[in-house]
Amino acid sequence: MREIVFDTETTGLDPASGDRMVEIGCVEMVNRVPTGETYHAYFNPERDMPAAAEAVHGLSISFLETKPLFAEQVDALMDFLGDAPLVAHNAGFDFGFLNNELALIGREPVDRERMVDTVAIARKRHPGAKVSLDALCTRYGIDRSHRVKHGALLDAELLAQVYVELLGGRQIGLELAAEAGSVEVSITRSETQVPARERREPRPHAASAEELARHKAFLERIEKPLWLN
């Protein structure tokens, strides 16, 4: 099964108020294993970058204004996404910005039926616990030491590892079930009958008179044996 784990960076929190997507990072997985194929792009948002947003991801408007518009890269992005399920952390946020960019250029939105939200999975798997990406990386021992600021591709790569752990981890011989956190185990019984073995009489194993004499002579040559102290 092919899935795409993705993350976005934006100018703010609300596309309805004019915030725009400025970065997207996507990681391809097949049967919950990253294939090494990724998609990453920056976009010129055609607006300013609020200081609060820049503090999160470090993307300045002077950097972004040299990048292509979303419309110039949309075909490559949509080709990469294909018709695969799309996995994101707090997926409604990322879907909202992706579909807003599509709407601005007159393209059809991505069907939310394709959405897989790892926040929802984490809350079900770990009720009452913190479910931020950082907290889940800590829980599952995933190294995030290189994550100084948010970055769409880096966060997607971390999330791909978290996603696998949320679904039970890579357990050899176990097939991940559709329900997060559960597994189905298929056990096949062998029809081969083990043949009965012929009973053997125990073999004599006592030392001979010659062996006992040699052992006694050996012991008599030992000076100050410990067992006599």
The domain that holds 97 is classified in CATH as 3.30.420.10
Write a three-state SS string for 146-158.
Answer: CCCCCCHHHHHHH
Q: If pLDDT is split at 50, 70 and 90, which confidence band does 172 have?
A: very low
Q: Which of 58-62, 90-94, 122-126, 173-177 has the lowest mean pLDDT?
A: 173-177
Q: Contact, 167 vs 174, CB < 8 A?
A: no
Active site residues: 150
Going by the DSSP 8-state scheme, the letter that residue 59 receives in this structure is -
Looking at residue 213, what is its pLDDT? 82
In a domain, 189, yes or no: no
In a domain, 226, yes or no: no
Beta bridge partners of 86: 4, 115
Is the model's pLDDT at 207 over the cut of 50?
A: yes
In a domain, 114, yes or no: yes
| Containing structural domain, residue 6 | 2-184
In a domain, 197, yes or no: no
Question: What number is the average pLDDT over the span 69-87?
Answer: 98
Compute the distance between CA of residue 56 and CA of residue 132 in angstroms, rounded to an integer.
15
Looking at residue 109, what is its pLDDT? 97
Compute the distance between CA of residue 113 and CA of residue 218 in angstroms, rounded to an integer.
85
In a domain, 122, yes or no: yes
In a domain, 162, yes or no: yes
In a 10 Å sphere around its CB, with 0-12 CB exposed, 13-18 middle and 19+ buried, how is residue 147 labelled? middle
CA dihedral sign, ordered 109, 111, 112, 117: negative
- The total domain count for the chain is 1
Question: What number is the average pLDDT over the span 100-108?
Answer: 97
- 41-64 per-position pLDDT tens digit: 999 999 999 999 999 999 999 999
Compute the distance between CA of residue 2 and CA of residue 30 in angstroms, rounded to an integer.
4
Q: Please state whether the predicted TM-score (pTM) of the whole model is above 0.85.
A: no
Report for 75-79, 150-154, 214-218, 224-228: range of highest mean pLDDT? 75-79
More confident residue, 110 or 186: 110
Looking at residue 182, what is its pLDDT? 43
Looking at residue 205, what is its pLDDT? 66
Looking at residue 34, what is its pLDDT? 95
Looking at residue 178, what is its pLDDT? 41
Looking at residue 202, what is its pLDDT? 66
Compute the distance between CA of residue 64 and CA of residue 98 in angstroms, rounded to an integer.
17
Q: Contact, 161 vs 136, CB < 8 A?
A: no
- 152-169 per-position pLDDT tens digit: 999 999 999 999 999 987
In a domain, 217, yes or no: no
Question: What number is the average pLDDT over the span 21-35?
Answer: 97
Is the model's pLDDT at 184 over the cut of 70?
A: no
Residue 130 Cα distances to 31, 110, 125, 126, angstroms = 27, 29, 11, 8
Beta bridge partners of 4: 28, 86
